[in-house]
Amino acid sequence: MSPLDASLEVTVDGDGQQVQFTLVVENAGHDPVTVTFRDSGDADFAVLTPGGEEVWRWSDGRMFAQALRPAEFAPGESATFEAEWPAPEPGDYTAIGELRVRESEVRAETPFSV
Amino acid sequence: MRQGGRSRRAVLQAIGAGTTAVGLGTGLGAADGRGGRDGGATTRVNVGIRPGGEQAVRAAASTVHRTYAFDALTATVPEGAIPDLRSRDDVRYVEVDGEVRVDGSGPVESEDTQTAPYGIERVGATAVDATGEGAHVGVVDTGIDATHPDLLGRVGESFTTVGSWVTGAAAPAGQDDNGHGTHVAGTVGATDDSGGVVGVAPGVTVHAVKALTAAGVGYNADLARGVELAAEQGWDVVNLSVETTAASGTRMLRDACAFARERGVVLVAAAGNYGPCSDCVAAPGKLPTTIGVGATDADDDVAGFSSTGPGVDIAAPGVDVRSTDLGAGYTEKSGTSMATPHVTGAAALLRAAGHDPARTEERLLYTAEDIGREVAETGAGLLDVPAALQR
């Protein structure tokens, strides 16, 4: 259902020491779109190997306050969410970025290499 | 959850507008710095130890941040030292501590409407004379606004366990800079007076432990320290309206909860907001040492967001719950976070009435009202305060 567009940019710094993920979510439609965040985490990010094994997830080991948070995207409005994979191992991966919302998936994938 | 009528301002608070970065993580947690003793990367870890293990951790660590009474430490160590530590007989576990979101949005507030806290009435708290006076409840959360008119004089001790690894200006001990903890505290024990709202246990003393940042996100180490504090202080009940995304949680969290429970603290924790889903309750709600709480609405329907499966021990109202907010105001919030303090307040009433921790847990569950839902959804049923207090 979600008319929200998601795109995920992955930036690997020069010496491969850090990987930055930037998830941009935009309401490309003409009507406002309401989403409800499940908790105090806005977006989650994960890194998968070519074999599909998850090697890192932003939310692992973190606690989130369990109150819902509704939010509205006006037509044309966008929001940016960022996270960092601090100690990457060299290799080929797929990054996943997704909003932690109750509504249909708002998610993007991007392949990258360290 | 009401969906309509959000102001644009509310959206800006929630998600940051335009291309403004919200900043979910800065990498501060998993890699404190890149200048370890050996010049390699360092990582902050939680280490469980046996006798003799502390020396090994101290020898390997560039910094020891904190030690715990349940035989654990939080330390920054070179990444290369982790395998060696893990292989030692006097080290039980080494867990990398989670990152935390250090910047970002405030909560979205529902619009104020003149709604009574239906949940307090639904669980029968207004039908009993007990106030919980003499009982002590720890709220391990984002802090509590002790100046709120409905909490004035109710807040006892205030602590902050958010560690030095979180950047930014430190809030005064226990001060809420999010609103979540203040909302939870109001449901536990807002004063019974002519204005505002009333809590389940309006005579109880609540204690603030700020273990989550202004963004409402926390590290394992900070939550574990908050639970340990509850045991040290001898509080009767602790409210944990938080959830990890792992079913078993970390060893450290399990140890901290076991430590507090053994010392007589009743632990009440949210089941989580990840529904509709099955067998999806995570720690701390799923732990055997906690009472896990699912959420219902004003019609006794199970909230669609409420996590279900093993770990849900009981249910309480958690949809559009009205309670205290920052700025001397009131707001409605939804979540298993909001259901949890109803049960916490009831536990405080039982403790104040002289029931020991085991008896308190037993009575809460044994007397819960059957609302015709699956055990996986509501556990023993809906919290029933008068029945739990009945002699």
- Residues B218 and B282 placed together within one structural domain of the fold: yes
- Residues B73 and B107 placed together within one structural domain of the fold: no
> What are the CA-CA distances from residue B382 to residues A93, B255, B257, B290 (Å)?
46, 29, 24, 17
pLDDT over threshold 80, residue B40: no
B278 is catalytic: no
Give the pLDDT confidence score for residue B173 in this predicted structure.
Answer: 83
- Residues B7 and B82 placed together within one structural domain of the fold: no
Give the pLDDT confidence score for residue A95 in this predicted structure.
Answer: 97
Q: Where does a domain end: B61, B79, B96?
A: B96
Q: What is the ipTM of this complex?
A: 0.85
Q: Who among A37, A62, A66 is closest to B336 (CB)?
A: A66
Give the pLDDT confidence score for residue B97 in this predicted structure.
Answer: 79
- Residues B178 and B48 placed together within one structural domain of the fold: no
- Domain of B66? 42-96
Separation CA B264–CA B50 (nearest Å) = 23
Give the pLDDT confidence score for residue B186 in this predicted structure.
Answer: 97
Catalytic position from the list B141, B177, B236, B313: B141
- Residues B241 and B331 placed together within one structural domain of the fold: yes
Chain mean pLDDT for chain B: 85
Please report whether residue B263 resides in a domain: yes
pLDDT over threshold 60, residue A59: yes
Question: In chain B, which among 39-98 make CB contacts under 8 A with chain A?
Answer: 41, 43, 79, 95-98
- Residues B276 and B151 placed together within one structural domain of the fold: yes
Please report whether residue B71 resides in a domain: yes
- Residues B80 and B110 placed together within one structural domain of the fold: no
pLDDT over threshold 70, residue A9: yes
What element of type H or E holds B375? helix B375-378
Percent of chain B predicted with pLDDT > 70 = 83
Please report whether residue B164 resides in a domain: yes
Please report whether residue B36 resides in a domain: no
Percent of chain B predicted with pLDDT > 90 = 69
Please report whether residue B233 resides in a domain: yes
The whole-angstrom distance between A50's CA and the closest CA on chain B is: 24
Catalytic position from the list B307, B323, B337, B342: B337
**Distance between start and end Cα atoms, chain B:** 37
**Which of B244, B224, B313, B239 has the alpha carbon at shortest distance from B269?**
B239
Give the pLDDT confidence score for residue B10 in this predicted structure.
Answer: 38
Q: In the structure encoding, which two tokens stand for residue B74, read together?
A: 């939080």
Please report whether residue B34 resides in a domain: no
- Residues B170 and B302 placed together within one structural domain of the fold: yes
Separation CA B289–CA B265 (nearest Å) = 10
Q: Enumerate domains of chain A plus CATH numbers.
A: 4-113 (2.60.40.2360)
**pLDDT tens-digit series, residues B326-341:** 988 999 999 999 999 9
Q: Who among B25, B79, B141 is closest to A65 (CB)?
A: B141
Q: Do A62 and B178 touch (CB under 8 A)?
A: no
- Phi/psi of residue B181, each to 5°? -65, -35
Place of tokens 């020898």: B59
pLDDT over threshold 50, residue B375: yes
- Residues B88 and B222 placed together within one structural domain of the fold: no
The whole-angstrom distance between A98's CA and the closest CA on chain B is: 12
- Residues B148 and B290 placed together within one structural domain of the fold: yes
Q: What is the CA radius of gyration of chain B?
A: 21
B180 is catalytic: yes
In what order do the strands lie in the sheet containing A92-99?
Answer: A54-57, A43-48, A92-99, A107-113
Please report whether residue B30 resides in a domain: no
Determine the average pLDDT of the residues in B262-284: 95
Does B247 or B137 have the greater pLDDT score? B137
pLDDT band at residue A16 using 50, 70 and 90 as cut-offs:
confident
Give the pLDDT confidence score for residue B174 in this predicted structure.
Answer: 86
Separation CA B264–CA B361 (nearest Å) = 11
The whole-angstrom distance between A94's CA and the closest CA on chain B is: 19
pTM (2 decimals)?
A: 0.84
- Residues B186 and B321 placed together within one structural domain of the fold: yes
Give the pLDDT confidence score for residue B16 in this predicted structure.
Answer: 36
Q: In the structure encoding, which two tokens stand for residue B230, read together?
A: 């509850």
pLDDT over threshold 70, residue B108: no
**pLDDT tens-digit series, residues B197-207:** 999 999 999 99
Give the pLDDT confidence score for residue B138 in this predicted structure.
Answer: 98
Separation CA A6–CA B11 (nearest Å) = 18
Return the residue in B273, B323, B326 with the most chain A beta carbons within 10 A, the one to mutate for interface testing: B273
Give the pLDDT confidence score for residue B44 in this predicted structure.
Answer: 87
pLDDT band at residue B162 using 50, 70 and 90 as cut-offs:
confident
Q: Who among A79, A84, A102 is closest to B17 (CB)?
A: A79
Q: In the structure encoding, which two tokens stand for residue A91, read together?
A: 């290799």
Domains identified in chain B, total number = 2
Please report whether residue B27 resides in a domain: no
Give the pLDDT confidence score for residue A62 in this predicted structure.
Answer: 87
Per the DSSP assignment, residues forming a β-bridge with A108 are: A97
- Residues B77 and B212 placed together within one structural domain of the fold: no
DSSP code for B273? S
Give the pLDDT confidence score for residue B384 in this predicted structure.
Answer: 98
Determine the average pLDDT of the residues in B116-132: 92
CATH of the domain at B52: 3.30.70.80
pLDDT band at residue A87 using 50, 70 and 90 as cut-offs:
confident
∠ CA B352-B355-B361, rounded to 5°? 110
Determine the average pLDDT of the residues in A82-106: 91
Report helix, strand or coil for B240: strand
Give the pLDDT confidence score for residue B250 in this predicted structure.
Answer: 81
pLDDT band at residue A2 using 50, 70 and 90 as cut-offs:
low
The whole-angstrom distance between A19's CA and the closest CA on chain B is: 10
CATH of the domain at B367: 3.40.50.200
Instruction: Pick from A12-26, B63-77, B303-317 the range whose average pLDDT is largest.
Output: B303-317
Residues of chain A in contact with residue B18, where contact means CB-CB under 8 angstroms, are 77-79
